[in-house]
């Protein structure tokens, strides 16, 4: 099975909105209210929202494909990091999703490898992310990739203020 990674183009916005909403719903719907999921999905994964994100220079989307079909994606964001991220020029891994049928088969690893290469190539000295404290599978995956917990931050899902672990990995 060959997993290929490519940088998203503006014409991928609709695809990213669709698979982003799908992956988010598959992962989190069972642990949250339908109302909170609907609010978040509508604001975070509308075509308008994702089109703007793909166009913004601060963002880099990477799409994983298997036999030409989308299998997941990742999003890197250059910008301010929480104060517990002790780095001069950190980049955020804001999203990394394998689609449900492909979980546990290396899509996440291929995306993470590309994200680390991109981040190093752009001169970032650290990579950080926020992950829901209850998302044990993702936390195990990040720890395997060298991320360590540095603190917590709030993630607002509809009317529910959730606790995310902030995890950081040095790139130097
Ligand atoms: C987290 C995620 C991106 C990892 O990608 P993946 O393609 O599933 O992971 P890979 O196949 O490359 O690597 C497998 C590793 O992930 C973790 N993992 C994946 N599937 C797992 C499962 N069913 N149970 C436990 N751990 C699992 C383990 O750490 C595993 O390590 P191992 O290979 O030593 O067992 C993916 O599981 C995913 O998209 N999950 C749903 C969305 C999500 O939670 N995203 C992160 C939001 S912060």
pLDDT digits (tens, 9 = 90+) for 84-107: 999 999 999 999 999 999 999 999
**E strand or H helix at 72, and its extent?**
strand 69-78
Nearest Cα neighbor of 96 from 54, 142, 146, 136 is 142
Q: Model confidence at 26, in pLDDT bands (50, 70, 90)?
A: very high
Ligand 1 centroid vs 60 CA: distance in angstroms? 21
The 10 Å CB-count burial string (b at 16+, else e) for 114-132 is bbbebbeeeebebbbbbbb
Ligand 1 centroid vs 15 CA: distance in angstroms? 22
pLDDT surpassing 90 at residue 73: yes
Q: Which pLDDT score, from 0 to 100, does residue 1 have? A: 84
Atom of ligand 1 at shortest range from CA of 132: 48
Q: Which pLDDT score, from 0 to 100, does residue 168 have? A: 98
Q: Which pLDDT score, from 0 to 100, does residue 61 have? A: 98
Q: Model confidence at 81, in pLDDT bands (50, 70, 90)?
A: very high
Any idea which residue has 């913004």 for tokens?
Answer: 56
CATH number (3.40.720.10, 3.30.470.20, 3.40.190.10, 3.40.630.30) of 3-170 reads 3.40.630.30
pLDDT surpassing 90 at residue 144: yes
Q: What is the pTM of this model?
A: 0.94
Contact 107, 4 (CB under 8 A): no
Question: Which sequence spans correspond to the domains of the chain?
Answer: 3-170
The answer, yes or no, to whether any atom of ligand 1 lies below 6 A from the CB of 23, is yes
The separation between CA 112 and the C-alpha centre of its own chain, rounded to angstroms, equals: 10
pLDDT surpassing 90 at residue 56: yes
Q: Model confidence at 163, in pLDDT bands (50, 70, 90)?
A: very high
């Amino acid at each position: 099975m060959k997993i290929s990674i490519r940088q998203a183009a503006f014409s991928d916005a609709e695809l990213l909105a669709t698979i982003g909403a799908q992956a988010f719903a598959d992962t989190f719907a069972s642990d949250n209210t339908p109302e909170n999921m609907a609010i978040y999905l509508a604001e975070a994964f509308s075509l308008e929202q994702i089109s703007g994100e793909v166009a913004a220079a601060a963002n880099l989307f990477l799409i994983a494909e298997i036999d030409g079909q989308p299998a997941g994606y990742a999003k890197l964001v250059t910008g301010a990091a929480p104060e517990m991220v002790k780095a001069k020029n950190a980049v955020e891994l804001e999203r990394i999703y394998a689609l449900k049928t492909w979980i546990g088969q290396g899509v996440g690893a291929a995306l993470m490898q590309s994200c680390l290469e991109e981040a190093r190539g752009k001169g970032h000295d650290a990579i950080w992310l926020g992950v829901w404290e209850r998302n044990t599978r993702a936390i195990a995956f990040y720890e395997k990739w060298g991320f360590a917990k540095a603190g917590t931050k709030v993630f607002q899902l509809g009317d529910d203020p959730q606790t995310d672990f902030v995890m950081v990995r040095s790139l130097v």
